[in-house]
A and B are shown apart, each in its own frame.
Chain A
Amino acid sequence: MNLYEMKKNTRCFIEGVPNNQLLSIFGIRPGCEICVLTRQPFHGPIVVKHKHRNIAIDKHFALNIDVRLVN
């Protein structure tokens, strides 16, 4: 499943990311754990908490980020 499908307040592990330097810069890499903080209306970004930062990820990126739910 992809990141954009995640509901808010769910925790997940990143399994695969598209080849994009911005994602890597912000630490969105396979293996890292994130928490979905909010989803924005009108196809807006999805805001995740990664370590102690809040990062808004564009829908186009989020659709291509594979994730696995944390049990």
Chain B
Amino acid sequence: MDCHVEYDGKFDHKNAVLLIGNPNVGKSVIFSKLTGIHVMSSNYAGTTVQLMTGKMEANKAKVPVVDLPGTYSLQANSEAEMVAVNILNQGGRVIVCVLDATNLARDLMLARELEKFQVPIVYALNLVDVAERKGISIDSKELGRLLHAPVIETVATKNIGIPQLKESIAYFYHASIDSSERLDSSFKTLHDESIDEIVNQVETISTVKQTWIDRIGEAMLRPIPGVPIAMFVLALSLGIVVGGGKALRSLLLLPIVNDFYVPNITALVERFLSEGALQNILVGEFGVLVKGIEWPFALILPYVLLFYFVLSFLEDSGYLPRLAVLVDGLLRKVGLPGHNIVPFIMGYGCAVPAILGTRASTSYKERLILTCLISIGVPCTAQTGAFIALLGDQSILALLFIFILSFGVIIFAGTMLNRWVPGRAEPVIIDVPSLLVPNFSSFMKKIWIRLKHFLLEAEIPMMLGIILAALIFETALIHLLGSWLEPLMVHWLGLPKEASITLLLGIIRRELAVMPLLEMNLSVLQLIVGSVVALFYLPCISVFIVLVKEFKLKVAIYLFLATTTLALLFGGLIHQIGRFVLFLLER
């Protein structure tokens, strides 16, 4: 099953079912249920920032479905909303408008705007289970009568109401409907008060005792205990990723790779190939069959897996918008409203979805600052795993230093960019969703999608990078490269000549700017310098392509130059200062 079907510009959306709704109403889950394509969904606004397309079965025919980015209105306040409006303007066969049963009045405002498109509408009244928990009951039949369209109650995560929704979509898709009759209805001319009247007619609210999860959800929004809880969540997340990853690596994965896989594959290759260049390329120092398995699977994968476990849990539980509220005041000092904490945290997974996530930002200034900060100082999860593998066993303090430095540079760069980049951060409203216990099946599927994506995206470039490294070492090109870069690598950075390979491989993938250092028996100071260079070094090829696509080539090149300069400057300064301190200590 395809898990990543982005809009390619050729999709026939005029004949498609258009799925639209406010952010965080469960649109992506409904899209998954209709099409069988599992797309990422989360419990916060702005998960879908690009068009997703798929096909659903309607009366034995395959019908195209488009999942539009969530939008509060059709005023197009952000780039993601603009995409939704553009597609709607071009038309479709049926609109499926997803309504949040806990927020009917708000969602009906968008529903009202949709009437002007003269396309039949089917309403999916989602999250009725959460509404029930809050004591909200909605008469969906009466709502349908007032909206002149079918309203299907759904709990998408549990597949409740999905068959009925499919039937309804199929009926409207195939039937020839005179939509003009419906558009002449009084609903078109209703004002805000009229929406309130509709809500008053269909919604009944009974007082229910606040559940423990709702109480925790509210407590998390108060500075006390919200801030201590945030610190605890951060420490726990780090503990799970770093501690759990280290345990998984040393107790399970490294023994399998080093004690079982490597001896066997080496023996097998040596049986068929005599000593020489080809044998070395396969199972030598940078053997592709050795390092190509050890690096991604034994050293990086445990951290990636646990990071996605933590991130997915935070996303699905609805904790991230609470964190966004708590850090809003602080983040604004670097020109970013609090909700940007979500793509920022995602950047610690991979910069590509994080940069795409900035499409939900409401100003170009916000997008640019956030993208710059992610590109400059946020290590991706694979690179973090590489840092832990490199420094964790040698010096925890050195590892801590790398992350503190990264954080310091992010704050400094953010403050400067906030001054330099024209414009201002727009005032925002954050809709804080209910705190939820994540749905186990969606949660596991999400981790699997991310892991699969990592393996597909990382393994091939990593193998290619390792082959390149093996060839460079085998053909003695490393000496040539080392000589060219000697003034920089040896004199300025204090690293051995062979470390030049990291600057080359780091272009392919960020962790490859770190991993070769594992094999070079470096001192702690050299490990720190190497890590600092890798941390700030230019973003990998995938990020560079996204930067060009999302911004302009000029922005991508500026970032390329800024990150490289920063990496070499910081690395060199740390080496020179470290050497001076060591000299003083030795005297």
Chain A residues within 8 Å of B, Cβ to Cβ: 8, 21-27, 29, 37-38, 40-45, 47, 51-61
Contacts and interface: CB of A to CB of B under 8 A. Distances in A.
Which residue, of B325, B429, B430, has the highest number of chain A Cβ atoms within 10 A?
A: B429
B134 A52 contact: yes
A47 B324 CA distance: 12
B552 to A, nearest CB: 29
Given A24-B109, A29-B192, A58 B329 contact: no
Contacts of A8: 222
Given A56-B429, A58-B428, A40 B73 contact: no
Report the 8 A-B pairs with minimum CB-CB distance, sorted nearest first. A42-B329, A44-B329, A58-B427, A56-B430, A60-B427, A54-B432, A44-B328, A56-B325
B325 A40 contact: yes
A42 B333 CA distance: 9
A45 B325 contact: yes
A67 B103 CA distance: 23
Nearest to B195: A27
Contacts of A52: 102, 134-136, 205
Interface in B210-246: 217-218, 221-223, 226
A24 B328 contact: no
Interface of B: 72-73, 75, 77, 102-103, 105-106, 109, 134-136, 192, 205, 217-218, 221-223, 226, 324-326, 328-330, 332-333, 337-338, 427-432
Contacts of B332: 42-44
Contacts of B75: 21
Given A38-B221, A44-B328, 6 more contacts: A26-B106, A38-B222, A44-B326, A45-B328, A52-B135, A57-B429
Contacts of B432: 47, 53-56
Contacts of A53: 102-103, 431-432
A22 B106 CA distance: 10
Contacts of B73: 21, 25
B325 A47 contact: yes
10 contacts: A21-B72, A25-B72, A25-B109, A26-B431, A27-B106, A40-B325, A45-B328, A52-B102, A55-B430, A61-B429
Given A52-B136, A56-B328, A60-B427, A25 B106 contact: yes
